[in-house]
Amino acid sequence: MPPPEHVHWLFASGFLALGLFLLAEAVVGREVWRKRRWRAYLWPSTMFGMGLAMWPVMVFFTSSTLHMLAHGAWAEVMMVAGAAELGLASGKLRSPLWRLAIVAAFVVTGMAFLVHEQNDWFFQRSAFLHHLLGWTFLAFAIFPLGRVIRPRSALFASGFALAFVVIAVIVFCDRDVAPVFGHLSPLAGTPHR
């Protein structure tokens, strides 16, 4: 079984890939990005796959009911958002309101981060990152929401892409037990790296 921080880094790689795909789409525009069918499916299927991969994390890595519920919620919203975007890409879903699924994913993810972190910001690094990720997801939900209202806006498309890059950077900063800005509660344990 990999240590939890390794699992976080693998998910961070997934978020980074999502960010790069969406950034490329924002640079070239949706029409060019969708000229090849496989590209239209690229980021939604990555999102859906990350949702699937979250289930074993929920089963094997959660130490409390609250953690289990939070990871389960992330798995569900990522799969729903990925599936909705896949449906839109394939043309099987037509209403642009399906794009609200990714907005819901951001909001639910942010709230789950904030609710399931029981320690304060400077308890240790992972506590800090949980708070930061929670507020980042909630604040950055404005970009997918803007993408629903103004689908051709370069600002919202770029912001949506960069949100995933920022999230990837934050998740890459995760360590099992580590100080944050020199703070580490004695209750957190001993840092091992």
Partner 1 sequence: MTQIATEAPRDAPRRRSARAYVLSAIGPATVTAGIVWALLQPYRLTILHPRGQGFWWLFVQPQLLVILVGALFHFFVVPSLLEDLQEEEAE
Of 83 and 168, the one with the shorter C-beta distance to partner 1 is 168
Q: Give the separation between CA 25 and CA 35, rounded to whole angstroms.
A: 11
Indicate whether 132 belongs to the interface with partner 1 (CB under 8 A): no
Q: For the chain, how big is the Rg over CA atoms in Å?
A: 17
- Which one of the spans 20-28, 55-63, 78-86, 179-187 is the region binding partner 1 (CB under 8 A)? 20-28
Indicate whether 172 belongs to the interface with partner 1 (CB under 8 A): yes
Tell me which residue of 29, 41, 24, 21 sits closest to 82, measured CA to CA.
41
Of 108 and 161, the one with the shorter C-beta distance to partner 1 is 161
Q: Of residues 82-121, which lie at the interface with partner 1 (CB under 8 A)?
A: none
Q: Give the separation between CA 164 and CA 133, rounded to whole angstroms.
A: 11
- Which one of the spans 28-36, 69-77, 79-87, 113-121 is the region binding partner 1 (CB under 8 A)? 28-36
Look-up of token digits 């507020």: 135
Of 3 and 96, the one with the shorter C-beta distance to partner 1 is 3
Task: Pick one of 30, 31, 111, 157: the residue that binds partner 1 (CB under 8 A).
Answer: 31
Indicate whether 21 belongs to the interface with partner 1 (CB under 8 A): yes
Task: Pick one of 40, 42, 70, 83: the residue that binds partner 1 (CB under 8 A).
Answer: 42
**Cβ-proximal residues to 34 (8 Å cutoff; 6+ apart), any chain:** 40, 89
8 A C-beta contact, residue 187 and residue 44:
no
Least distance (Å) from partner 1 to the CB of residue 110? 23
What is the SS3 assignment for 79? helix
Beta bridge partners of 105: none
One-letter identity of residue 110 = G
Tell me which residue of 44, 126, 113 sits closest to 73, measured CA to CA.
113
Tell how far CA 14 is from the center of its chain. 9
Of 98 and 172, the one with the shorter C-beta distance to partner 1 is 172
Indicate whether 9 belongs to the interface with partner 1 (CB under 8 A): yes
Question: What residue ranges bind partner 1 (CB under 8 A)?
Answer: 2-3, 6, 9-10, 12-13, 16-17, 20-21, 23-24, 27-28, 31-33, 35-36, 39, 42, 172, 193
